[in-house]
């Protein structure tokens, strides 16, 4: 049994906005609150390779990827980059600390990574810029085909 299309699209919208807000906030924190230098210093202490480059990657992917989830644009690419980001966070920062966040565990990283994977696989849904752009491209392709015929 499947959800009716409007309910499915609404669920995708709410999931995208919720997960996107969390990523956007973490990217903002890395770029503007802690700064890339502060983030890189933490990454260096945690043993993350190339801490400055990794800090820039994480900050930009989380900020831009979070915004992309919220808007529903370039969703497969954004979701893939966010999954890669969460794999790095798991491997280099959280894996050895158990599950729970109070011990710097991986529960948030796992939830965000899994949610990104699901959103990437399911797509952005009807209430997204991806859908609007795809419809516009299809309409123009149909117009072009009619004008040739």
Cα 104 to Cα 42: distance, rounded to the nearest angstrom: 13
pTM: 0.90
Is the separation of the CB atoms in 118 and 8 below 8 Å? no
Can you give the pLDDT at residue 148?
Answer: 67
State the pLDDT at residue 143. Answer: 63
> How far apart, in whole angstroms, are the C-alpha atoms of residue 18 and residue 84?
19
Contact 61, 81 (CB under 8 A): yes
Cα dihedral 102→42→81→95 (10° resolution) = -40
The three-class DSSP label of residue 21 is helix
pLDDT at 48: 96
d(CA 19, CA 116): 8
- Residue 144's pLDDT band, with cuts at 50, 70 and 90, is low
Give the closest residue to 9 by CA, choosing from 91, 122, 132, 142.
122
Count other Cβ atoms within 10 Å, centred on residue 27. Answer: 21
Closest CA to 48 of 77, 90, 98, 97: 90
* Mean pLDDT within 113-135: 94
Summarize pLDDT for 81-123 with one digit per residue, the tens.
999 999 999 999 999 999 999 999 999 999 999 999 999 999 9
């Amino acid at each position: 049994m499947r959800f009716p299309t409007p309910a499915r699209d609404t669920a995708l919208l709410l999931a995208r906005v919720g997960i996107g807000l969390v990523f956007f906030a973490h990217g903002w924190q890395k770029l503007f609150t802690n700064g890339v230098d502060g983030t890189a210093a933490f990454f260096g202490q945690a043993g993350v390779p190339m801490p400055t480059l990794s800090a820039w990657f994480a900050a930009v992917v989380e900020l831009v990827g979070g915004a992309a989830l919220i808007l529903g644009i370039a969703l497969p690419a954004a979701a893939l980059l966010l999954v890669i980001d969460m794999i790095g966070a798991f491997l280099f920062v959280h894996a050895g600390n158990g599950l729970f966040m109070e011990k710097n565990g991986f529960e948030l990283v796992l939830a965000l990574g899994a949610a990104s994977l699901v959103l990437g696989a399911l797509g952005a849904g009807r209430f997204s810029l991806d859908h609007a752009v795809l419809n516009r491209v299809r309409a123009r392709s149909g117009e072009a085909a009619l004008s040739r015929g």
